[in-house]
């Protein structure tokens, strides 16, 4: 008999939320360890808090929130599933041996499990509360017992903190490929309100050690980005600049929003910091923010296309077409790109504990599939984060997500730099010829 | 009170990876549940595959057992596939089918012919006795009796394909590294050709660009996105690329190049233009050529390579196909493939088939990784491709590319690297087979040019 639980993913998730972020390790399964109370107690005593589940027509459970021992009375949370709803009530304190030992026929107990006979007995009041069909003897086919641990216990927090430190040091010491440029430029592109400005704020917050709000965010007029901004970030408050620049742009929109032309100009490095976007027409040469001779240094090296994870499925077909067009343009100029899904913290049922292993979390996997289906990006190019929005303090779990995403972007940028044809990477000579020309201009006006 | 493992989160993750991305459930912890054999068996029997983890201060030693722990002590030795590992240095040592003897005092592992003793656990004394050579192999410090602080047992879940699990886990990393070394040291058999050029040809979305990324990622040590991949109605790859691959991030270039092309489409005027194929094969097509689905490249193109030498030619063509699409390949596509093949045969280029998106990639190779299994090479997809293109079954290769979050997997790597090795072997064979006159002729031409 295989030791795998009969619980569905959804049921497990609902229990996890009911019990405030617990993770369950299966210890005992009746079909593998016999329907024997003594086996159950031998395996499950002294395992800390435990959860007992019985599977009949309904899934019924009992949660013991203290260390479970045979004869120490404990209070117990009883619950029953109705589809995805759960009804519950507290009983006890009782000795676990009486409730789950099953050999007693004491009629004064409101609830007990007879494991050998595979029957649960409970009084009418409980049956009502738990919304079960009126029948005092409920038979079941399987019984499982789990140890309950906190999904985010100190051990994991410590582990995440260690990981955070190693990511931080990797990013601090990162050097662009062959040091072709001093700082890698990452452009944040995406629909209005996707969380582009918030991602910049998040990265800055991680390196600052507390949450900052340099870029204005939000959906009212002040929070909508209408200016092109290139943000360099300092390591700590007075530290030196980090080896990357995040470029924040105006949101994409079906009608208004950033022009296609401007995107291409940004990619090639023609547009400088603080350009005021005009959604009716793209920038023209001669504008104060127009750079005639962009160097490799001024170009974008990686694009992150940002979406709100909760609304990608609802993107209009015009928006999808626009994104695909942008992707084609990027492919044409060899631009490396990744997708960044924000707002994962708002996904249904998700809890903070799920963020530590986000790419294995089932709804996120399905989300990545959906993005792949809808927009055609490869699964390996889709990253997820939860931005800092309303909190004051940074948190190692979120930091790790943000830093991992950033590291992937820098790797993608390195791929872009490596992929450039030789004549384009030879910037120094280009730069020198340009300087020489300018000098000449200066000498003979 | 909470029962939590002594493993740090990082150690737990490394252990999960070492065991092939499994998940672990703690069943027993000696300091909480009592250290006698009886206490241990009470909690660990009938739990399926387990690992027993011993904490030795600066090192973690462990034993994997494929089958259940028995319910009670048993003086008769029982067969149970197992292997040992030590976590500090990520080393595993295989001892397949050891026999396990459990008495009231100790847990002893012997070779299955009962002749050799490997190690014993004496929980009451908190002692681990280890065969000297085994300790050495796991690079533990040299004493053979150890006092330990704690013993934990975990159930191991998520083992893919139990039948060859033990040999796969214990041998995979080593074999992968061996293959990697082998490919690093590879040299083409013909001096005139410093790098073997492998061309990837196949339908839109079949995984050509992903294959290049996968190979590069393995040599680079982390995920790469140099070739853009993704899905669309028309090919994502629009430019001809001749990729060279470095050994390590800033290392020297490896002696092979992967040439990535636009996807084939069953319709004419869409996808790779048939007229381009001979130019690619002969080495006339320049790197970064922007494909035009309507028209082939002409010698008037500014970068057209007019007299390519042997080194510029394609030395091996891989027809890339999604394994799941083969049984319902449209007849138009089949016709197109045959046309392509005609061109390839005309040029005398070596050819292999590369099947991608092989979900059950764990099951493709034999236990020693040397060959594909018969059950795999006899499946209908392989037979159909074999019939369609008349390519020997040994040159119908399979991979699962790195296509989602990059979790390095030695078995995936082994397939990818083995496939690459087969391609290089095929290229070498056809280069050796080249008539001297032809190498001479091409040589002569290029000399004329200079
Ligand atoms: N819960 C949550 N809210 C987020 C996240 N990222 C952004 N937000 C919120 O989403 C709203 C829009 O975020 P912005 O960062 O302004 O989005 P933007 O892409 O810069 O928008 P425009 O500049 O208007 O194109 C703000 O109210 C943010 O607080 C996230 O990861 N989680
Ligand atoms: N599961 C899985 N997915 C794969 C594999 N190879 C490629 N993919 C996915 O299939 C899609 C197409 O892959 P590409 O590598 O772009 O295919 P291509 O042959 O280069 O396609 P074009 O350039 O468009 O002709 C991407 O989303 C990949 O992530 C594989 O071996 N397994
Ligand atoms: Mg903004
Ligand atoms: Mg491609």
- Which tens digits make up the pLDDT trace of A377-388? 999 999 999 999
Asked if residue A330 belongs to a domain, the reply is yes
pLDDT digits (tens, 9 = 90+) for A239-275: 899 999 999 999 999 888 888 899 999 999 999 999 9
> Using one digit for the tens of pLDDT, what is the confidence trace for A107-128?
578 898 999 999 999 889 999 9
> Over 70: is that where the pLDDT of B357 sits?
yes
Indicate whether residue A96 lines ligand 1 (CB < 6 A).
no
- Asked whether the beta carbons of residue A3 and residue B155 sit closer than 8 angstroms, the reply is yes
The number of the ligand 2 atom at minimal distance from the alpha carbon of A376 is 27
The rounded Å distance from CA A331 to ligand 4 centre is 11
The answer to whether residue A13 sits within a structural domain is: yes
Atom of ligand 2 nearest to the CA of B264: 25
Mean pLDDT, range A297-321, rounded to an integer: 96
Inter-chain touch B43–A27, beta carbons under 8 Å: yes
Given A90, A119, A150, the domain boundary residue is A150
Best of A66, A154, A367, A415 to disrupt the B interface by mutation (most B CBs within 10 Å)?
A: A415
- Residue A440 banded pLDDT, cuts 50, 70, 90: very low
**What are the tens digits of pLDDT across the range B46-72?**
999 999 999 988 889 999 999 888 888
State how far the Cα of A390 lies from the Cα of A338, in Å rounded to an integer.
26
What per-residue confidence (pLDDT) applies to A257? Answer: 81
Give the residue among B445, B137, B46, B427 at the shortest CA–CA distance from B258: B427
| pLDDT surpasses 70 at A429 | no
* Judgement on whether residues A281 and A215 belong to the same structural domain of the protein: yes
Q: Which residues contact B75 (CB under 8 A, 6 or more apart)?
A: B101, B103
How far separated are the first and last CA of chain A, in Å rounded? Answer: 90
Residue A441: pLDDT over 90: no
CB atoms within 10 A of CB B441: 12
- Note whether B137 and B187 are same-domain residues: no
What does the mean pLDDT of chain A come to? 90
Give the pocket of ligand 2 (CB within 6 Å).
A 378-379; B 202, 204-210, 229-231, 235-237, 263, 356-357, 399-401, 403
How many structural domains compose chain B? 2
d(CA B82, CA A120): 41
Q: What burial class does residue A107 get, using C-beta atoms within 10 Å of its C-beta: 0-12 exposed, 13-18 middle, 19+ buried?
A: exposed
Contacts of B214 in chain A (CB under 8 A): none
Domain membership of residue B379 (yes or no) is yes
- Whether residues A79 and A205 fall in one domain: no
**Mean pLDDT along residues B333-344:** 95
Q: From the alpha carbon of B234, which atom of ligand 2 is closest? A: 24
Asked if A165 and A144 sit in the same domain, the reply is no
Q: Which of B1, B47, B230 sits opposite A376 (nearest CB)?
A: B230
The four Cα atoms B331, B333, B335, B341 give a dihedral, to 10 degrees, of -150
Distance (Å, rounded) from C-alpha B123 to C-alpha B180? 42
Which pair of structure tokens corresponds to residue B122? Answer: 């004496």
Given a cut of 90, is residue B132 above it in pLDDT? no
Lowest mean pLDDT among A175-189, A328-342, B87-101: B87-101
* B64, part of any domain: yes
Res A439 pLDDT > 50:
no
pLDDT-derived band of residue A27, with 50, 70 and 90 as boundaries?
Answer: very high
Instruction: Please tell me the predicted confidence (pLDDT) of residue B170.
Output: 85
Q: Are B193 and B131 members of one domain? A: no
A253, A304, A309, A387, best to mutate for ligand 1 pocket (most atoms within 8 Å of CB):
A387
How many CB atoms sit inside 10 A of residue A182's CB? Answer: 12
Claim to verify: residue A241 and residue A169 sit in the same structural domain: yes
Q: How far apart are CA A28 and CA A356, in angstroms?
A: 27
Amino acid B79: pLDDT:
80
Please, what is the average pLDDT of chain B? 90
Please check whether residues B124 and B264 belong to one and the same domain.
no
Residues B336 and B225 in one domain: yes
Q: Where residue A231 sits, what CATH number does that domain have?
A: 3.40.50.300
Q: Say what the pLDDT of residue B444 is.
A: 41
- Residue A377 Cα: closest atom of ligand 2: 27
Chain A residue numbers with beta carbons less than 8 Å from the beta carbon of B288 are 421
Considering the domain architecture, whether residues B127 and B175 belong to the same structural domain is answered as no
Residue A52 or B99, more confident: A52
Q: Are residues B238 and B369 in the same domain?
A: yes
Contact A412 B405 (CB under 8 A): no
Which atom of ligand 1 lies nearest, measured to the CA of A190?
A: 19
Give the pLDDT confidence score for residue B246 in this predicted structure.
92
Which of A104, A124, A150 corresponds to the end of one domain?
A150
User: What integer pLDDT is reported at residue B438 of this predicted model?
Assistant: 62
The span from the CA of A114 to the CA of B99, in Å, is 39
Show which of B120, B137, B161 is a domain's final residue.
B161
**ipTM tops 0.95:** no
Q: How confident is the model at residue B445 (pLDDT cuts 50, 70, 90)?
A: very low
Are residues A362 and A226 both part of a single domain?
Answer: yes
A-chain residues near B230 (CB < 8 A): 327, 376-378, 381
Mean pLDDT of A357-367: 93
Q: A434 and A376 in one domain?
A: yes
Q: Which of A85, A116, A150 is the last residue of a domain?
A: A150
Integer Cα distance of B62 and B87 in angstroms: 8
Q: A250 Cβ partners below 8 Å, 6+ apart? A: A224, A225, A226, A227, A228, A257, A258, A277, A279
Structural domain span for residue A59: 9-150
Let me know if residue B51 belongs to a domain: yes
Nearest alpha-carbon partner for B326 in B259, B396, B237, B274: B396
Is the residue at A444 inside a domain?
no
Pairing mode, strands B91-102 and B107-110: antiparallel
Residue B6 domain flag? no
For residue B183, being part of any structural domain is answered with yes
Please compute the mean of the pLDDT values over residues B220-247 and round it to a whole number.
94
Say if residue B88 is in the same domain as residue B109. yes
Domain membership of residue A263 (yes or no) is yes
CB atoms A324 and B232 under 8 Å: yes
Nearest residue on chain B to A66, judged by CA atoms?
Answer: B1
Q: Considering the domain boundaries, does residue B4 fall inside one?
A: no
Residues B121 and B184 grouped into a single domain: no
Q: Does residue A140 sit in the same domain as residue A231?
A: no
pLDDT at A320 (0 to 100) = 96
Cα separation of B354 and B318, whole Å?
A: 6
Angle between helices A260-268 and A317-332 (to 10 degrees): 30
In this structure, the answer to whether residues A49 and A169 fall within a common structural domain is no
What is the reported pLDDT for A430? 52
Q: How many domains in chain A?
A: 2
Could you tell me which of B383, B384, B430, B421 has the C-alpha nearest to residue B399? Answer: B421
A146 & A198 share domain: no
Using CB atoms, pick whichever of A2, A156, A380 lies closest to residue B406. Answer: A380
Q: Are residues B154 and B177 in the same domain?
A: no
Best probe of the B interface among A38, A48, A380, A404, by most B CBs < 10 A, is A380
Same domain, B356 and B423: yes
Please report whether residue B166 resides in a domain: no
User: What is the β-pairing status of strands A337-342 and A302-308?
Assistant: parallel
CB contact under 8 A, A378 and B26: no
State whether the beta carbon of A214 lies less than 6 angstroms from ligand 1. no
Most confident of A212-221, A405-414, B134-143, B424-433: A405-414
Percent of chain A with pLDDT strictly greater than 90: 77
Chain B positions in Cβ-Cβ contact with residue A149 (cut-off 8 Å): 2-4
Q: What pairs with residue B365 in β-bridges?
A: B372
Comparing alpha-carbon positions, the chain B residue that sits nearest to A405 is: B405
Do B60 and B176 belong to one domain?
A: no
- Which strands make up the sheet holding A184-189, listed edge to edge? A229-234, A241-248, A184-189, A302-308, A337-342, A382-384
Residue B385's pLDDT is 95
Domain co-membership, B113 together with B221: no
What integer pLDDT is reported at residue A223 of this predicted model?
Answer: 80
Fill in the DSSP letter of residue A6. Answer: -
* Strand, helix or coil for residue A109: coil
Least confident of A178-182, B157-161, B240-244: B157-161
Instruction: Give the pLDDT band (50/70/90) at residue B443.
Output: very low
CATH (domain of B298): 3.40.50.300
A198 CB under 6 A from ligand 1?
A: yes
What the block records as the tokens of B49 is 């595959």
Predicted confidence at residue A306, as pLDDT, reads 98
Are A119 and A214 in the same domain?
A: no
Indicate if A146 and A193 belong to the same structural domain. Answer: no
pLDDT at A427 over 60: no
For residues A81 and A146, membership in a common domain is answered with yes
Contact (CB<8Å) B1/A48: yes
The partner residues of A326 in beta bridges, in order of sequence, read: none
User: Six-digit token pair at A323?
Assistant: 């994104």
Got the DSSP string for B145-193?
A: EEE-SEEEEEEEE--S-GGGHHHHHHHHHHHHHHHHHHHHT---SSTT-
* Interface touch A49/B46, C-beta < 8 Å: no
Last residue of some domain: B123, B140, B161?
A: B161
Helix, strand counts (H, E) of chain A: 13, 14
* Residue A445, in any domain of the structure: no
Last residue of a domain, one of B161, B192, B222: B161
- Is the shortest distance between the CB of A218 and ligand 1 below 6 Å? yes
B14, part of any domain:
no
Q: Is A202 in the pocket of ligand 1 (CB under 6 A)?
A: no
Domain assignment of residue A283, yes or no? yes
Domain range spanning residue B56? 23-161
Does ligand 1 come within 6 angstroms of the Cβ of A192? yes
Residue A1 lies in a domain: no
């Amino acid at each position: 008999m295989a030791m795998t639980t009969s619980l569905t993913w959804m049921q497990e998730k609902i229990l996890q939320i009911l019990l405030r972020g617990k993770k369950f390790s299966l210890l005992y399964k009746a079909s593998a360890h016999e329907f024997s109370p003594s086996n159950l107690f031998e395996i499950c005593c002294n395992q800390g808090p435990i959860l007992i589940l019985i599977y009949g027509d309904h899934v019924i459970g009992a949660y013991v929130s203290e260390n479970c021992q045979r004869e120490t009375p404990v209070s117990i949370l009883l619950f029953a599933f109705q589809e995805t709803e759960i009804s519950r009530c507290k009983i006890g304190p009782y000795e676990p041996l009486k409730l789950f030992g099953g050999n007693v026929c004491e009629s004064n107990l409101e609830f007990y499990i007879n494991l050998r006979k595979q029957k649960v007995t409970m009084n009418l009041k409980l049956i009502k509360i738990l919304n079960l069909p009126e029948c005092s003897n409920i038979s079941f086919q399987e019984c499982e017992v789990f140890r309950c641990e906190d999904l985010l216990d100190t051990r994991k927090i410590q582990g995440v903190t260690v990981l955070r430190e190693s990511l931080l040091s990797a990013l601090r010491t990162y050097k662009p490929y062959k040091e072709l440029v001093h700082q890698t430029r990452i452009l944040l592109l995406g629909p209005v309100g996707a969380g582009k400005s918030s991602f910049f704020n998040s990265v800055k917050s991680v390196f600052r050690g507390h949450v900052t709000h340099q870029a204005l965010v939000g959906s009212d007029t002040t929070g909508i980005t209408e200016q092109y901004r290139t943000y360099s970030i300092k390591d700590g408050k007075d530290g030196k600049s980090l080896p990357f620049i995040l470029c924040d742009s105006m949101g994409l929109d079906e009608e208004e929003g950033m022009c296609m032309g401007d995107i291409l100009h940004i990619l090639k490095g023609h547009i400088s910091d603080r350009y005021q976007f005009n959604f009716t027409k793209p920038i023209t040469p001669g504008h104060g923010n127009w750079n005639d001779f962009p160097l490799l240094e001024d170009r974008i090296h990686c694009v992150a296309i940002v979406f709100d994870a909760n609304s990608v499925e609802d993107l209009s077909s015009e928006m999808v077409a626009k994104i695909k067009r942008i992707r084609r343009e990027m492919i044409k100029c060899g631009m490396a790109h990744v997708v960044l899904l924000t707002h994962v913290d708002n996904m249904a049922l998700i809890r903070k504990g799920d963020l530590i292993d986000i790419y294995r979390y089932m709804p996120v996997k399905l989300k990545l599939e959906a993005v792949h289906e809808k927009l055609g990006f490869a699964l390996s190019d889709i990253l997820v984060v939860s931005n800092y929005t309303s909190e004051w303090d940074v948190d190692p779990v979120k930091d790790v997500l943000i830093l991992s995403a950033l590291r992937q972007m820098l790797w993608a940028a390195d791929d872009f730099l490596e992929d450039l044809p030789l004549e384009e990477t030879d910037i120094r000579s280009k730069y020198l010829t340009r300087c020489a020309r300018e000098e000449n201009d200066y000498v003979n006006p | 009170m909470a029962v939590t493992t002594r493993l740090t989160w990082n150690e737990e993750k490394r252990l999960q990876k070492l065991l092939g991305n499994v998940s672990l459930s703690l069943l027993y912890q000696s300091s909480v549940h009592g250290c006698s054999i009886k206490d241990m068996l009470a909690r660990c029997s009938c739990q399926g595959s387990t690992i027993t983890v011993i904490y030795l201060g600066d090192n973690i030693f462990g034993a994997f057992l494929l089958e259940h722990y028995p319910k009670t002590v048993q003086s008769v030795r029982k067969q149970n596939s197992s292997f040992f590992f030590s976590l500090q240095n990520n080393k595993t040592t295989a001892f397949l089918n050891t026999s396990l003897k459990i008495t009231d005092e100790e847990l002893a592992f012997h070779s299955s012919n009962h002749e050799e003793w490997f190690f014993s656990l004496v929980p009451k004394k908190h002692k681990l006795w280890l065969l000297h050579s085994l300790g050495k192999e796991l690079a533990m410090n040299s004493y053979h009796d150890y006092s330990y602080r704690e013993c934990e047992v975990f159930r191991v879940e998520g083992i893919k394909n139990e039948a060859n699990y033990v040999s796969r886990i214990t041998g995979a990393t080593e074999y992968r590294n061996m293959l990697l070394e082998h490919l690093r040291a590879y040299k083409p058999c013909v001096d005139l050709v410093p790098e073997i050029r492998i061309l990837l040809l196949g339908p839109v979305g079949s995984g050509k660009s992903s294959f290049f990324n996968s190979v590069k990622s393995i040599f680079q040590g982390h995920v790469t996105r140099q070739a853009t991949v993704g899905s669309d109605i028309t090919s994502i790859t629009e430019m001809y690329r001749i990729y060279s691959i470095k050994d390590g991030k800033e290392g020297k270039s490896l002696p092979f190049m992967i040439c990535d092309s636009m996807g084939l489409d069953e319709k004419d005027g869409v996808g790779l233009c048939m007229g381009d194929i001979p130019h690619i094969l002969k080495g006339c097509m320049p790197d970064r050529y922007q494909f035009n689905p309507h028209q082939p490249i002409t010698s008037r193109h500014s970068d057209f390579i007019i007299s390519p030498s042997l080194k510029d030619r394609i030395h091996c063509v891989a027809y890339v196909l999604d394994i799941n699409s083969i049984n319902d390949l449209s007849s138009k596509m089949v016709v197109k493939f045959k046309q392509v093949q005609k061109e390839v045969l005309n040029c005398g280029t070596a050819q292999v088939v590369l099947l991608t998106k092989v979900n059950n990639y764990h099951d493709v190779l034999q236990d020693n990784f040397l060959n594909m299994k018969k059950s795999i090479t006899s499946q209908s997809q392989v037979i159909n491709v074999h019939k369609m293109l008349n390519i020997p079954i040994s040159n119908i290769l399979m991979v699962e590319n790195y296509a989602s979050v990059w979790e390095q997997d030695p078995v995936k790597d082994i397939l990818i690297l083995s496939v690459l090795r087969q391609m290089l072997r095929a290229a070498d064979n056809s280069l050796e087979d080249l008539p001297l006159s032809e190498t001479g002729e091409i040589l002569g031409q290029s000399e004329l040019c200079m």
